Amino acid sequence: MFEYEFMRNAFGAATVVAIVAGCCGYFLVLRGQAFAGHALAHVGFTGATGAVLVGVPPLWGLVAVTFAGGIAMGALGERLEGRDVAIGIVLAMSLGLGLLFLHFFTTNAAQATALLFGNLLGVDRATLAALAALAALCLAALAFISRPLLFASLQPELAEAKGVSPRVMGVLFLAVVAVAIAECAQIVGVLLVFALLVAPAATAQRLTRSLFAGVVLSVAVGLIDAWGGLTLAFYTDWPTSFWITALASTLFLLANLSVPART
């Protein structure tokens, strides 16, 4: 399997993305903002297809639009609560607009499939280097805000009284999450971001209450999903994204079944 360069690149990209997704996803689930991740992925599809339309690599369009969307959602904060219908319509419009951009660029359905469901086996060295650089930036930013972010997430009133603004933390965090989502989309596509961003973190939080152990376990589960998905895809010739999502769902289910027996 590792005799092929495309598989080595795929494993490298999967490792980078699983680590970033595991760390960011843990805080995302802890803060109850899983839906925000889903929303940003949909909005990012428009950015990716828009970038393709003007001749820019999709990754950079995805990063730019999700980053802007993350800042906007963080700034709106509580104003978004209870507006599921309006948000759903915006997300549907985002997908529709992305497909329109793609239509103007090409009639090749493979382009849309890659953006929607990922193309891990198509990662080249340049993309791998870009993913690694974005991951380093993302993890550094998350490490910098992790303590005040945790404080603002668990005790927002007390944090605000101590001079830590929950809104500022929310803006900064969703900006970091936006970059993580852009990376995840390269692996599993914008429609299956939950597989790497939310499922491993949710699995970890079912199994441990410790913050440090939870983050480590979230990363470990993400790596199992990504590496296992790649291996199974190589030997079965089934889509990589399918295997990653299948493993993520299975591990989450097993974690839920084990909860009653946990002390």
Which two structure tokens, joined as six digits, stand for 255? 């974690």
Q: What is the predicted pLDDT for the residue at 79?
A: 58
Each residue of 146-199: pLDDT tens digit? Answer: 999 998 888 888 888 888 888 888 889 988 998 898 888 877 877 778 888 899
- Of residues 200 and 51, the one with the higher pLDDT is 200
Q: How confident is the model at residue 226, as a pLDDT?
A: 94
Domain ranges of the chain: 5-191
pLDDT computed for residue 262 by the predictor: 47
If pLDDT is split at 50, 70 and 90, which confidence band does 78 have? Answer: low
Instruction: Enter the pTM of the model.
Output: 0.83
pLDDT given for residue 206 in this prediction: 92
The residue among 173 and 100 whose pLDDT is bigger is 173
Distance CA 51, CA 80 (A): 27
Which architecture, in CATH terms, is 5-191?
Answer: Orthogonal Bundle (1.10)
pLDDT value at residue 20: 94
